[in-house]
Structure 1
């Protein structure tokens, strides 16, 4: 399949369908090298990537279970177990965080978009290599205590995504895509 065909058929795999095995160190290194080849105005590298294998996923899961219980004291055991399992749904979890330099000539939005491009490149690289992949944020990305646990400053840093990588248990179904006429316009409009 050529690059254009790949991009026209690209499909994330539901995290529920991602299973073992995950990328080994060599495959992960290729994915990460591709991930960092993004637009980066000012060469700031305003993002960081954390690799969580099973031990890190379990530690994060325990923290999420406790954090969820603290935020939702009426939570039942099934809900708490789901939160504990949340970061452990795939063999490999990557966390991408924006490390924005405030008061810099490069606008903050451009720095965040560069981090978003890192997430997208991870997704594309993993899928192109034949792995299953999904980019999700969910509530932990917006929780200051989760940001701190991962070693970041919630005053300046934002989690841009949790990227789950592994093997697809089954091929993903196609999903509806927007009609170009609904999302693309010409400017100025011609008669």
Structure 2
């Protein structure tokens, strides 16, 4: 049995570290095409518990400077190496799509299920970027969970950050890594405890 092209693409997926992503990034039409694929996820009740923020150009460095200020507020003893890491965090890939979660109370769709939809969006965006010839990495870090960063990015109090998807052209080929053995993870349930 030969593998269909879609499975071949899934099997070829790998994260490209953000430091290994450079120009060129996708143009505006390509970004929209990626997002068209990313929104085709399971979404019980069509709640659309997500939205996107595009961070590119000079906004990447501006966010890095804010992160330095915020890191110093959070920990006055933070090292200069950590501050420089935070300053450069968004400067490697030419494009960062922030996937914002909008989880709302819903009698039919639990918050956990909505959050899984948002996670699927992040993964589908990685797949779409790779399908269009780009590399991508899904990152979070402390800033994804910091209320001041959320406010700085214009999120409401009910919103969160599921991930920063860094997208660009890979500077180098990324080697395959060990993957779990699906057979070792599969258990047959026979209907009895």
TM-score band by shorter chain is over 0.9
**Alignment-derived partner of residue 62 in structure 1:** 65
**Alignment-derived partner of residue 74 in structure 2:** 71
Where do 1:2-151 residues align within 5 Å? Answer: 2-151=5-154
1:56/1:104 Cα in 2 relative to 1: closer, same or farther (>3 Å)?
A: farther
Distance in 2 separating the partners of 1:44 and 1:180 = 32
Structure 2 length as normaliser, TM-score?
A: 0.92
Q: Which runs of 4+ in 1 moved over 3 A?
A: none
Query: Structure 1: where are the runs of 5+ without partners?
Result: none
Structure 1 length as normaliser, TM-score?
A: 0.92
Query: Structure 2: where are the runs of 5+ without partners?
Result: none
| Cα shift at 1:188 | 2.2
Asked if 1:177 corresponds to 2:185, the answer is: no
Bigger shift: 4-13 or 128-137?
A: 4-13
Distance in 2 separating the partners of 1:6 and 1:106 = 31
Distance in 2 separating the partners of 1:167 and 1:43 = 33
How many residues get paired? 189
CA RMSD, Structure 1 to Structure 2 (Å): 1.7
Distance in 1 separating the partners of 2:190 and 2:99 = 38
Distance in 2 separating the partners of 1:183 and 1:40 = 26
| Cα shift at 1:103 | 4.0
